[in-house]
């Protein structure tokens, strides 16, 4: 968490880390807890392909992600969700708490998130949430594609 704060402070990004007693497991739980639109929740998913692993930060407002479309954007033959064990090994974090920033994976960002002044996502700790402006995703991650 200190690393996350350092990155945000060094890059002069406005942010808030919000602590809560129990983990927030779904976009709907996050929207209800924070009193925000479901589209402002931004889970970080980890995808696996023959080219390696990718982090995909999507809007919680999406019903589902079309992996074939993302596969085409990235030029991959096969793309699937990484297993919880792979996510832990690759990122050092458990599924559901992978941070919005501060990991070394190439990143795909959902354009839907840019509609909001702030988005809410992982910090690496299941009992805290990072609130920050969506434009910081591009500034602080190695963005390789926009999903749109």
- Return the structure tokens found at 62: 């999406």
Q: Indicate whether this model's pTM tops 0.85.
A: yes
For the chain, the average pLDDT equals: 95
The enclosing H or E element of 58 equals none
pLDDT at 25 over 90: no
Question: What does the pLDDT read at residue 64?
Answer: 84
3-state secondary structure of 98: coil
């Amino acid at each position: 968490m200190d690393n996350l704060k350092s990155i945000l402070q060094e890059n002069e990004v406005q942010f808030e880390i919000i602590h809560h007693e129990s983990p927030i497991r779904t976009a709907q739980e996050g929207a209800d807890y924070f009193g925000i639109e479901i589209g402002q929740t931004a889970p970080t998913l980890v995808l696996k392909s023959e080219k390696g692993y990718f982090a995909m930060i999507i809007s919680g407002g999406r019903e589902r992600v079309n992996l074939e479309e993302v596969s085409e954007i990235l030029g991959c033959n096969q793309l699937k969700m990484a297993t919880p064990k792979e996510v832990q090994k690759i990122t050092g974090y458990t599924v559901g708490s992978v941070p919005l920033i501060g990991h070394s994976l190439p990143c795909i960002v959902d354009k839907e998130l840019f509609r909001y002044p702030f988005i809410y996502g992982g910090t690496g700790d299941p009992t805290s949430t990072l609130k920050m402006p969506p434009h910081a995703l591009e500034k602080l991650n190695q963005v390789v594609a926009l999903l749109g």
